[in-house]
Structure 1
């Protein structure tokens, strides 16, 4: 566990219910940048702790219902905003030099260190949503993770998408991102319902990686030389849905291949089998999804409980 970041909760109040408490905290990453985070602490002793790594540009409050569910099941949980996103934006967005690489190399390791500090006697697990699962291979402290549960995690390769969504994705990646970065100095993804506004380097790398095969694999050995994709070997469940235009089955397989040593169980599900009209790329974490199909969230609990190997 590294000691190169500090943790601060000064002046911040905890909230609680019958089964767990919520505490907002600030984590300082290796770039000396503050990250806004929330700790979900069960009232009972914690034996398993989960880091929820967000999708590109998605603020941590999006995962509140799911994090609360896990805490109610006895898991310690941490959610966070990546640098440059929501409450982790501390400068003019056009001046932010955060990137997908810095998120994986600096933000996620600092959050995992904090999870270890907050729940010292637990086993540690990562629940990745989209980019949150893609970037694990940049984490130098990945070895403390016992298991991974990835949702809608894929390479996002545009070539493998179906029309008409493919045309929409091409417009976003090849027109909207370059123009936004050129005119504003960032990508206003929020204007078209794509999460929070994105620092320019985040959007630029997102565009570059999705225009090739294997997402980050397109730059391994070129602009990225130090990584752990070839070494990561903890068990992982990858969950995808047939109505997800981005993380379709081909793109899930394309990303899984970037982790050659990872033993992966892939589940590709149909929303109608669970009485749902739509899940897509985002709605797995919706409280409405849980209300209609609680077994989908139970899959995460069962997987995390099954794969506790330490302490």
Structure 2
């Protein structure tokens, strides 16, 4: 249950051994928790306790007509993610707690008032998503989605049917509106500082982090990764920018790191998460 008094759907993965390390997997914008099932199962098989969840307005965490849902990216970071971290601590007592963030799941960390409970961060495809840093032709696609599809859909439907254009689940209008605003500026959420965001922790977080990016990711390209990393002014970041061909893969992009097919062909990619977690206190 969040501070907004909203229940969130979540799934717990328990290893057979005693849990010393527990992980919350924070999803990308509009992505349901089932997407991370195989990866979460793999982590549990390696001895980690894991919690996946649907943000408010997504999947089983949608409890009203979507057009009436007032969730936003800000509420996801300020209310949903802290509630999940609290639940992770309840589920796995006497463990260390870690965040694995996919795209928005890593971006919104700086809104969490209880961030100090997190021992380390492992971010995948996490960046500012700044449109001006994208390459043609994807830049034109992003501009069409952000600057035409979202405003028109919000105006006519009261929400954004992102699923119709292959951009995840249908989105509450507040989520889609902020997504558009933040990707049209630099530093993603930084564009809202002093406007819709007056309290945040981006300048305080000094949690060690590993950020993975991929050369064929049109969204989280190297420039946009750096653009987002700069917002976390005190975070010690190890950035790994990887090339799919080096792992015998033709494509990873923004989403396929968590694919079981990716793991089958390149098991060392998921092993990076295990190795990172294993070396944390």
Which residue of 1 is the match for residue 192 of structure 2? 219
Q: How many residues align?
A: 281
Contact 1:50 1:127 in 2 (8 A): yes
Q: Deviations over 1:184-203 (max 9, x none)?
A: 00000001111100000000
- What is the CA–CA distance in structure 1 between the aligned matches of 2:61 and 2:49, rounded to whole Å? 22
- Which residue is equivalent to 2:159? 186
Aligned match of 2:2 in 17, 21, 29? 29
Q: Which has the higher strand share?
A: 1
Give the 3-state SS of the residue equivalent to 2:14 in structure 1.
strand
Range that drifts further, 216-225 or 151-160: 216-225
Alignment partner, residue 291 of structure 1: 264
Report whether the alignment pairs 1:106 with 2:79: yes
Residue matched to 2:223: 250
Query: TM-score scaled by structure 2?
Result: 1.00
Q: Deviation of residue 261 (structure 1)?
A: 0.2
Per-residue CA deviation, residues 203-240 of structure 1 (Å, 9 max, x unaligned), is 00000000000000001112101100000001000000
**In structure 2, distance between residues paired with 1:69 and 1:178:** 39
Q: Unaligned stretches of 5+ in structure 1? A: 1-27
Distance in 2 (alpha carbons) for counterparts of 1:219 and 1:97: 18
Give, in whole Å, the separation in 2 of the partners of 1:223 and 1:282: 29
For the residue of structure 2 that corresponds to 1:52, the secondary structure is strand
Q: Secondary structure at the match of 1:42?
A: coil
Identify which of structures 1 and 2 has the higher relative contact order when contacts are C-alpha pairs closer than 8 Å and 6+ apart: 2
TM-score (norm 1): 0.90
Q: Which residue of 2 aligns with 1:195?
A: 168
| Structure 2: runs of 5+ lacking an equivalent | none
The residue aligned with 1:153 is 126
Please name the residue that 2:13 is paired with: 40
Computed over aligned residues only, the root mean square deviation of the Cα atoms, in angstroms, reads: 0.4
Structure whose residues are more often helix by fraction: 2
Q: Specify the SS of the correspondent of 1:237.
A: strand
